[in-house]
Amino acid sequence: MKNLFDHFNLAGTDLKNHIVMAPLTRARAPRDIADERTALYYTQRATAGLIVSEGTPISREGQGYLFNPGIFSAEQIAGWRLTTNSVHSVGGRIFAQLWHVGRVSHPSIQQDGKVPVSATSKRAEKAKAFGYNENGQPGLVTPPAPRSLATSEIKRIVEDFAQAAENAIQAGFDGVEIHGANGYLFEQFMNPLVNDRDDLYSAENLENRLRFTLEVIDAVTARIGANRVGIRISPYGKLFDMPHYPEIDSTYTELCLEVGERKLAYVHVMNQAGYSRLDNAMEPEAESGFNRLLREMKPLLQETALILAGGMTRERAEQMIADDIIDLVAFGAPFISNPDLVARLSNGWPLSPADPNTFYGGGAEGYIDYAPYTAR
């Protein structure tokens, strides 16, 4: 029987266990550059088999939240190199999550106050970005209607992803994860109820809706190799005004087929039913659909590993790995307050609760001050 704490070969990268630290936005980079605190935070958690970094914007245009370290400037590359060197010094592995939020942004964050761009000109209802309010203070702001990208502009964004992947390798990351989940730019192309284009990237058929995603995957793998590339997806998610549509299953099974043929390192699936704190949580019908789809994914992926995140426990993870439904398990919030989460899971030690008030922004409190387990 496969053991959660055994080594795992991730497309040639040796992981010391089957546990992944999921990407977690922490908004702790005042200059949008990873610093010494960032390095300490990730190094404290480097007993995970794999760390996936917080979302790191590929460009100023791709940013939707203040204080997140990007990967598009020389200073940002140097900042991340401190983190990767530190993680590697204790035997850890770390991928950078490459991020473009699309329409979930605000002019106060964009260069020269430009309107955010997307696959569509439809506004994300009820969504919030984190930018500067009317008083010039950081805070939650409402994204405006975006500007729909011209067909000729899309190649530029594809190149931005490829360059960001190259930058990540230069910064010392072991690979990259394309952020195709949570209602951001990729889903804005894939969802036919959001995508209102009339060009090669339109919602007219599945090939067109997946075209942007596959072009990015191909450009990134051409630049750094398929064995260094993963993608995160969130089927049946509804974050940031992503309505459900009849073709969800066919969209993601086709995407998995394409990913498997390209032999990417992994597909990282986010189960939003497991995240009770998220808005627009899954209805029971959607959760049933998600679970059915999840079981169909792994055979399609061939040699590509499957990671699952969302409300996971050691017991559930071990059963799903034993049943060959998934290969690796990702934990998010538990890693915030348990830097030694792997040891706690292995030894059956209790988990420390996290303080949601310190999830985003601030200083050391709730970031690098959580203590490892000590027997009382």
Residue 276: the pLDDT is: 41
Residue 278: the pLDDT is: 47
Q: Any catalytic annotation for residue 275?
A: no
User: 102 pLDDT exceeds 90?
Assistant: yes
- Supply 314's token pair: 């050691």
100 in Cβ contact with 34 (< 8 Å): no
Determine the angle formed by the axes of helices 206-224 and 151-170, rounding to 10 degrees.
30
Q: What residue segments make up the domains of the chain, in order of their start?
A: 8-358
User: 247 pLDDT exceeds 90?
Assistant: yes
The number of angstroms, rounded, from the C-alpha of 224 to the middle of its chain's C-alpha atoms is: 18
Residue 265: the pLDDT is: 98
- Supply 306's token pair: 């499957």
| Residue 131 banded pLDDT, cuts 50, 70, 90 | very high
The CATH code for residues 8-358 is 3.20.20.70
Q: What is the CA radius of gyration of the chain?
A: 19
Q: What value does the mean pLDDT take over residues 130-143?
A: 92
Residue 286: the pLDDT is: 77
User: 351 pLDDT exceeds 80?
Assistant: yes
| Residue 282 banded pLDDT, cuts 50, 70, 90 | low
Cβ neighbors of 6 (< 8 A, separation 6 or more) are 17, 18
Residue 343: the pLDDT is: 97
- Percent of the chain having pLDDT more than 70? 96
Residue 194: count of CB within 10 angstroms of its CB: 23
List the single range of 57-61, 179-183, 258-262, 283-287 with lowest mean pLDDT. Answer: 283-287
Residue 274: the pLDDT is: 46
Residue 2: the pLDDT is: 77
Nearest to 367 by CA among 11, 15, 34, 31: 34
Rounded Cα gap, residues 144 and 116, in angstroms: 8
Does residue 122 or residue 376 have the better pLDDT?
Answer: 122
- Supply 303's token pair: 């040699």
Residue 281: the pLDDT is: 53
331 in Cβ contact with 22 (< 8 Å): yes
User: 241 pLDDT exceeds 50?
Assistant: yes
List the single range of 136-145, 272-281, 283-292 with lowest mean pLDDT. Answer: 272-281
Residue 273: the pLDDT is: 63
**Mean pLDDT in the chain?**
94
Residue 1: the pLDDT is: 61
| Residue 126 banded pLDDT, cuts 50, 70, 90 | confident
Catalytic residue among 65, 184, 201, 367: 184
Rounded Cα gap, residues 158 and 100, in angstroms: 11
Residue 206: the pLDDT is: 97
Rounded Cα gap, residues 240 and 279, in angstroms: 9
- Supply 334's token pair: 């538990």
User: 304 pLDDT exceeds 60?
Assistant: yes
Cβ neighbors of 119 (< 8 A, separation 6 or more) are 102, 148, 149, 185, 188, 189, 194, 195, 197, 201, 212
| Residue 207 banded pLDDT, cuts 50, 70, 90 | very high
pLDDT digits (tens, 9 = 90+) for 256-281: 999 999 999 999 999 986 444 444 45
